[in-house]
């Protein structure tokens, strides 16, 4: 077993180098920083939207302790924050929808969250590295636009962690812990290994 592990480690180190030596160098992406941020946001915002959809309506009023938000308020808070951070990065006026304090029904909160994520997706998609280096005012600080988007991703991830706790308390597997769907076997492949 130890020999197999050593062989695998050696092959994993040597094989990529051999493949890279044969392939011509790829051109670097035009906007690697903004593209990376967009990818991270896409992942975590997808988890948040899926978590909001997974929690049953009757648990939207649930809160683990009296001093924290209900699950529904958490969904509304995340939606509101999307507009705050992304409008700041885009230089747009904040729509200020106050979702957390005005919407309580699951269907309406899920829809509002999806709309907020769609708004942010447009901002992330339109951001270049050069634009991202421009500064905007956020909480009385001058901050690069890409830093504002990074804060949005971090804030969304932070509250996804809260959502995971709420889901787990209710016995629900969070989206990030679900098994990925099985990939179909390539055509002509045998079902037996």
In a domain, 160, yes or no: yes
CATH number of the structural domain spanning residue 145: 1.20.120.450
Specify if 121 maps to a domain: yes
Number of domains forming the structure of the chain: 1
The verdict on residue 63 lying in a domain is yes
Distance CA 121, CA 83 (A): 11
Residue 4 domain flag: no
Averaged pLDDT, 124-129: 96
Mean pLDDT, range 154-170, rounded to an integer: 98
Phi-psi category of residue 29: left, alpha or beta, with phi > 0 → left and psi -120 to 50 → alpha: beta
- Residue 10, in any domain of the structure: no
| Residue 22 located in a structural domain | no
Residue 111: is its pLDDT beyond 90?
Answer: yes
Q: What is the mean pLDDT of residues 113-119?
A: 97
Name the residue range of residue 111's domain: 30-173
List pLDDT tens digits, range 23-49.
677 777 789 999 999 999 999 999 999
Alpha-carbon gap, residue 46 to 115, rounded angstroms: 13
Residue 17 lies inside a defined structural domain of this protein:
no
Whether the model clears a pTM of 0.85, i.e. scores above it, the answer is no
Neighbours of 48 (CB within 10 A): 23
Answer whether 132's CB lies under 8 Å from 149's CB.
yes
Neighbours of 110 (CB within 10 A): 20
Q: What is the mean pLDDT of residues 71-96?
A: 96
């Amino acid at each position: 077993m130890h020999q197999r592990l050593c062989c695998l480690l050696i092959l994993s180190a040597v094989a990529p180098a051999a493949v890279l030596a044969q392939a011509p160098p790829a051109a670097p992406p035009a906007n690697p920083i903004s593209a990376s941020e967009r990818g991270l946001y896409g992942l975590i915002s997808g988890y948040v939207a899926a978590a909001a959809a997974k929690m049953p309506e009757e648990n939207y009023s649930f809160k683990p302790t009296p001093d924290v938000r209900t699950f529904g308020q958490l969904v509304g808070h995340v939606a509101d924050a999307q507009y705050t951070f992304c409008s700041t990065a885009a230089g747009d006026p904040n729509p200020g929808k106050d979702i957390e304090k005005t919407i309580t029904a699951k269907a309406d909160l899920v829809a509002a969250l999806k709309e907020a994520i769609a708004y942010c997706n447009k901002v992330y998609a339109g951001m270049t590295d050069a634009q991202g280096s421009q500064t905007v005012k956020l909480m009385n600080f001058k901050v690069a636009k890409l830093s504002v988007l990074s804060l949005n991703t971090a804030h969304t991830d932070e509250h996804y962690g809260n959502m995971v706790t709420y889901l787990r308390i209710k016995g629900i597997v969070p989206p990030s812990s679900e098994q990925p769907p099985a990939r179909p076997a390539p055509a002509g492949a045998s079902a037996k290994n």
